């Protein structure tokens, strides 16, 4: 046998140590990022975890993040299996998170403009007014505010005003309950299917169906009148009319309510974590307030002004590093492929732990310290290839990241300009949840001590 004909040998994939019967389930439920980091330190970039009775391979660390961005990575991994139950539940023909390849890119093309910075260009005065309205409703002086919930209402209000001109605030709880159940049961599968028969879910799901039905009627009327807006939902309806094979009637319900589902937990969780980091870390609050006050003193806020929020942007990036939404991405191997000397078998379901390097002092010195200066040009720790993945990696990188960054920057600036806030206690330690999306626990509260600055309205750009 020639050397070329020799059978290649691969390393054996190690099983992560755990406790009898439960394996790594408790660690995963408590803090998946910590589990993936511990296993990476102990076993390297490839290992197998035992969670909820299922053994799954994990590829992790900087190596996995870089692999996701290569041609080999794009062709070796797919998303279909994890999102197929969700597609079936909605009776849709397809969904963005499920599809790969050319079809995925076509769907991204439909929604790209609506999820871009341009969606709010020239509308920062409107966004500021929406934030003020939400502050009046959910951030009252002298109260303890449940931060995640308050941000959920604020984000739905912001998205509603941007996308439709009105916000479905009456549906916020229904949207949250609906997506909580669907993700836990159908996608992460940490809850049994009978949960979808519980009254709480059935009531919320009925309400979300009502919301989507009303939205479809509204946008069909816009189409008939020729008044479809130039925003995300308008783009979706235009694609339905012009390319019904790509966006058929059966997919409209999921697509039109999708932006609320996508932003409700993800952006709210990041903003809540950011508020905690700012209030908890000595010296940061004063810097944020100074930068926020300078922005609001301009009266007219532009996109360039948002880009110049160095301290606030650093706080948001640091929140996404320390409390990442995309702890790991779930994928299936499309074929046998080699990764770091290991053979990953075709059709194997696996986690891709791209956030592991967020917590490694090799890349982020003192990783447990909330430090917004990591992202200054002279430091730029996040610019090392493969070490910072707050929006995931590969073809499924968050489509709305640019819009999310603008919304979060403006929200933090306006909030800390307007309000004087503190933690419940100086030594409060943030509690977190893991499913369906990682982030601060729902019982995290802050005290609104009073109003720092009045709600002076911003002026539109000329």
pLDDT per residue as tens, the chain (462 positions): 455 556 789 999 999 999 998 999 999 989 999 999 999 999 999 999 999 888 999 999 999 999 999 999 999 999 999 999 999 999 999 999 999 999 999 999 999 998 898 889 899 999 999 999 999 999 999 999 999 999 999 998 998 888 777 778 899 899 989 988 998 999 888 889 999 999 999 999 999 999 999 999 999 999 999 999 888 899 999 999 999 999 999 999 999 888 887 778 889 999 999 999 999 999 999 999 999 999 999 989 998 999 999 999 999 999 999 999 989 999 999 999 999 999 999 999 999 999 999 999 999 999 999 999 999 988 888 989 999 999 999 999 988 898 999 999 999 999 999 999 999 988 899 999 887 788 999 999 999 999 999 989 999 987
Q: What whole-number distance in Å separates Cα of residue 303 and Cα of residue 120?
A: 9
Q: Are residues 433 and 294 in the same domain?
A: yes
Q: Are residues 296 and 316 in the same domain?
A: yes
Q: What whole-number distance in Å separates Cα of residue 401 and Cα of residue 397?
A: 8
In a domain, 61, yes or no: yes
In a domain, 193, yes or no: yes
In a domain, 459, yes or no: no
Q: Are residues 44 and 169 in the same domain?
A: no
By residue count, the chain amounts to 462
Q: Number of structural domains, the chain? A: 2
Write the DSSP symbol of residue 15.
B
Q: Are residues 74 and 131 in the same domain?
A: no
Q: What whole-number distance in Å separates Cα of residue 184 and Cα of residue 190?
A: 5
In a domain, 60, yes or no: yes
Beta-bridge partners for 344: 337
Q: Are residues 55 and 169 in the same domain?
A: no
Count the alpha carbons within 13 Å of 429 in the hemisphere toward its beta carbon.
2
Written as six digits, the tokens of 286 are 């004063």
Q: Are residues 83 and 127 in the same domain?
A: no
Q: Are residues 174 and 290 in the same domain?
A: yes
Q: Are residues 121 and 72 in the same domain?
A: no
Residue 266's nearest CA partner among 350, 176, 195 is 176
In a domain, 382, yes or no: no
pTM value > 0.75: yes
Q: What whole-number distance in Å separates Cα of residue 142 and Cα of residue 163?
A: 33
In a domain, 362, yes or no: no
Q: Are residues 16 and 144 in the same domain?
A: no
Q: Of 286, 315, 348, which residue sits at a domain end?
A: 348
Q: For residue 293, give its domain range.
A: 101-326+390-451
In a domain, 182, yes or no: yes
274 marked as binding residue: no
Q: Are residues 34 and 110 in the same domain?
A: no
Count the alpha carbons within 13 Å of 146 in the hemisphere toward its beta carbon.
7
At 92, give phi and psi (nearest 5°). -85, 160
In a domain, 210, yes or no: yes
Helix axes 252-280, 232-242, angle to 10 degrees: 160
Q: Are residues 60 and 163 in the same domain?
A: no
Written as six digits, the tokens of 412 are 């933090």
For every residue of 125-192, DSSP letters joined together read HHHHHHHHHHHHHHS-TT-EEEHHHHHHHHHHHHHHHHHTSS--GGGHHHHHHHHHHHIIIIIS--S-
Q: Are residues 154 and 73 in the same domain?
A: no
Q: What whole-number distance in Å separates Cα of residue 337 and Cα of residue 47?
A: 15
């Amino acid at each position: 046998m020639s050397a070329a004909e020799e059978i290649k040998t691969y390393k054996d994939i190690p099983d992560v140590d755990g406790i009898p019967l439960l394996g790594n389930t408790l660690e995963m439920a408590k803090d998946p990022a910590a589990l993936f980091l511990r296993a990476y330190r102990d076993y390297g970039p490839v290992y197998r975890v035992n969670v909820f009775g299922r053994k799954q391979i994990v590829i992790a660390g900087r190596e996995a993040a870089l692999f996701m961005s290569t041609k080999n990575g794009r062709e070796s991994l797919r998303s279909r299996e994890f999102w197929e139950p969700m597609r079936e539940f909605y009776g849709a023909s397809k969904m963005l998170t499920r599809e790969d390849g050319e079809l995925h890119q076509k769907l991204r093309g439909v929604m790209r403009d609506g999820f871009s910075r341009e969606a709010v260009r020239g509308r920062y005065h409107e966004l500021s007014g929406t934030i003020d309205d939400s502050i009046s409703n959910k951030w009252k002086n002298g109260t303890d505010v449940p931060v995640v919930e308050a941000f959920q209402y604020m984000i739905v209000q912001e998205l509603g005003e941007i996308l439709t001109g009105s916000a479905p605030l009456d549906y916020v709880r229904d949207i949250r309950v609906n997506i909580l159940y669907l993700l836990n049961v159908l996608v992460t599968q940490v809850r049994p299917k009978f949960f979808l028969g519980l009254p709480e879910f059935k009531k919320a799901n009925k309400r979300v169906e009502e919301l989507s039905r009303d939205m479809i009627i509204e946008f069909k009327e816009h189409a008939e009148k020729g008044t479809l807006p130039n925003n995300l939902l308008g783009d979706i309806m235009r694609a339905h009319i012009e390319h019904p094979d790509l966006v058929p009637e059966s997919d409209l319900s999921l697509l039109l309510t999708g932006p609320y589902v996508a932003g409700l937990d993800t952006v709210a969780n990041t903003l809540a974590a950011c508020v905690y980091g700012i209030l908890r870390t000595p010296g940061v609050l004063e810097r944020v307030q100074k930068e926020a006050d300078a922005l609001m003193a301009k009266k007219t806020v532009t996109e360039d002004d948002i880009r110049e929020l160095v301290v606030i942007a650093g706080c948001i990036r640091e929140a996404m590093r320390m409390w990442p939404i995309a702890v790991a991405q779930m994928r299936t191997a499309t074929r046998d492929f080699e990764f770091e000397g290991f053979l990953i078998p075709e059709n194997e379901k696996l986690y891709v732990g791209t956030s592991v390097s967020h917590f490694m002092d090799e890349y982020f010195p003192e990783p447990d310290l909330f430090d917004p200066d990591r992202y200054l040009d002279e430091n730029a720790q996040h610019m090392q290839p493969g070490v910072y993945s707050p929006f995931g990696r590969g073809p499924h990188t968050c489509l709305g990241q640019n819009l999310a960054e603008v919304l979060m920057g403006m929200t933090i600036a306006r909030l800390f300009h307007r309000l004087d806030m503190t933690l419940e206690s100086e030594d409060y330690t943030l509690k977190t949840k893991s499913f369906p999306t990682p982030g601060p626990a729902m019982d995290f509260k802050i005290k609104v001590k009073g109003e720092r600055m009045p709600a002076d309205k911003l002026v539109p750009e000329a």
